[in-house]
């Protein structure tokens, strides 16, 4: 089979090459002026006061938590369905990630479950905008206000995705993005923190760079506090600046890929495309679905050269965070049915139609085998 439809394909072109070459020619590859230019452009694009570039989405979340004062003895609410980095970032501060079940329909953090998990030690909540889908910021901020919690948004998968016209990541004390290769814009690795809080901004710069509030010389600098080295580089920023130029085109394509699946699979009862609110400005990073025979479908597509991706195992099933499954009825029931369809912005309409056709032929095959007479996942 010649056909190859990938889950994701990062794209780089001549603009990236020439900006990287400029940085190399400048002789200054470290975190410097090009990084600042990239940070300013992102701040303007997302509509926030400060952007701090760091080594990864994970370090961005860790720095944000440390920056607002999360420490050993504290508890932080984290959804059971997220990339493990969210919980790991909490653990690295010494605090305890407290897992919270998800909404069975859209697989994002369930605010009611979060409220039930609050104890006197709970200091913060991390809504994770999985696949670019908003965890309603007004519900979370209401919950946070009532219980005196800080909100750190994990918007790793939600760059330029909006809720009611405002960019995700800009609602909490800080919002964190990932620039890893399967994101809308990538710098190889990398992360961004956004905040409107001037003091937190300074604190984050100190934590990111050995306690220095501003870039130093490496010599007679003033170090106000203990800090890490989570600096970005001008090389990464050069790639980021070039990637930003392609954002409008990529965003359009990602929306139309989701619409293609949504419309192409509307009549297929065995699969539910999880909805996005495009009118609110949500940007589908990846199209996710709930499907009865998920593993069989995954294998069927793979055998046809089509690469989906199964959802992460719920965190409560992973060794560092193991908890009884009865406490997570929604993630336990739904995640074995959840997968992402190929979502690369490089996919053509014909690719999307081919994936839908393969899904339909899989369903026919299953029905012929009389293996899936009733829907097993639940979505209304």
Q: Identify the residue among 42, 63, 85, 339 touching ligand PLP (CB under 6 A).
A: 85
Verify whether residue 49 is a known catalytic residue.
no
What are the b/e assignments for 101-125, b being 16+ CB within 10 Å? Answer: bbbbbbbbbbbebbeebbeeebbbb
Say which of 123, 183, 208, 231 is annotated catalytic: 183
Cβ proximity to ligand PLP, 187 vs 234, nearer residue: 187
> According to the binding rule CB under 6 A, does residue 154 interact with ligand PLP?
yes
Strands lying side by side in the sheet with 174-178: 50-54, 191-195, 174-178, 150-154, 122-125, 75-79, 96-100
Alpha carbon of 322 to those of 107, 193, 211, 314, 325: distances in Å? 19, 29, 35, 10, 9
365 contact partners, CB below 8 Å, separation of at least 6 = 300
Residue 82: CB minimum distance to ligand PLP, A: 5
Residue 191: CB minimum distance to ligand PLP, A: 5
Alpha carbon of 41 to those of 34, 244, 269, 284: distances in Å? 11, 9, 44, 22
Distance of CA 35 to the CA centre of its chain: 22
Q: Identify the residue among 58, 187, 287, 331 touching ligand PLP (CB under 6 A).
A: 58
> According to the binding rule CB under 6 A, does residue 57 interact with ligand PLP?
yes
Residue 92: CB minimum distance to ligand PLP, A: 12
Output the six-digit token pair for 134. 């908003």
> According to the binding rule CB under 6 A, does residue 191 interact with ligand PLP?
yes
> According to the binding rule CB under 6 A, does residue 83 interact with ligand PLP?
yes
> According to the binding rule CB under 6 A, does residue 97 interact with ligand PLP?
no
Residue 301: CB minimum distance to ligand PLP, A: 22
Cβ proximity to ligand PLP, 92 vs 379, nearer residue: 92
Cβ proximity to ligand PLP, 183 vs 304, nearer residue: 183
Residue 128: CB minimum distance to ligand PLP, A: 5
153 contact partners, CB below 8 Å, separation of at least 6 = 126, 127, 129, 168, 169, 171, 172, 174, 175, 176
Hey, which residues are catalytic here? 183
The residues binding ligand PLP (CB under 6 A) are 56-58, 82-83, 85-86, 128, 154, 156-157, 178, 180, 191
């Amino acid at each position: 089979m010649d056909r190859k439809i990938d889950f994701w394909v990062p794209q780089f072109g001549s603009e990236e090459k020439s900006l990287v070459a400029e940085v190399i020619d400048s002789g200054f590859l470290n975190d410097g002026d090009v990084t600042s230019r990239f940070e300013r452009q992102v701040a303007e694009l997302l509509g926030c006061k400060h952007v701090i570039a760091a080594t990864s989405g994970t370090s961005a979340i860790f720095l944000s938590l440390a920056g607002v004062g999360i420490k050993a003895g504290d508890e932080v609410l984290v959804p059971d369905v997220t990339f493990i980095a969210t919980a790991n970032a909490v653990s690295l501060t010494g605090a305890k990630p407290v897992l919270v079940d998800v909404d069975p329909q859209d697989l994002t953090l369930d605010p009611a479950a979060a409220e039930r998990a609050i104890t006197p030690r709970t200091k913060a909540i991390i809504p994770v905008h999985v696949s670019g889908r908003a965890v309603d910021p007004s519900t979370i901020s209401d919950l946070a206000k009532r219980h005196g919690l800080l909100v750190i948004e994990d918007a790793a998968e939600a760059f330029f995705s909006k809720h009611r016209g405002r960019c995700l990541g800009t609602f909490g004390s800080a919002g964190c993005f990932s620039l890893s290769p399967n994101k809308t814009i990538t710098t190889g690795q990398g992360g961004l923190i956004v905040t409107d809080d001037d003091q937190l901004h300074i604190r984050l710069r100190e934590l990111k760079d050995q306690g220095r509030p501003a870039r130093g010389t490496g010599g007679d600098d003033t170090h106000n506090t203990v800090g890490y080295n989570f600096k970005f580089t001008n090389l990464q920023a050069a790639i980021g600046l070039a990637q930003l130029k392609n954002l409008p085109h990529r965003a359009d394509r990602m929306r139309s890929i989701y619409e293609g699946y949504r419309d192409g699979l509307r009549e297929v009862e065995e699969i539910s495309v999880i909805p996005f609110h495009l009118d609110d400005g949500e940007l589908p990073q990846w199209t996710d679905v709930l499907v009865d025979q998920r593993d069989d479908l995954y294998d069927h597509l793979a055998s046809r050269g089509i690469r989906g991706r199964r959802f992460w195992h719920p965190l409560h099933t992973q060794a560092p965070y193991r908890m009884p499954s009865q406490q997570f009825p929604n993630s336990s029931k739904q995640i074995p049915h959840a997968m992402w369809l190929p979502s690369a912005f490089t996919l053509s309409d014909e690719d999307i139609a081919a994936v839908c056709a393969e899904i339909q032929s899989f369903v026919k095959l299953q029905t012929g085998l009389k293996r899936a007479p009733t829907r097993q996942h639940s979505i209304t």
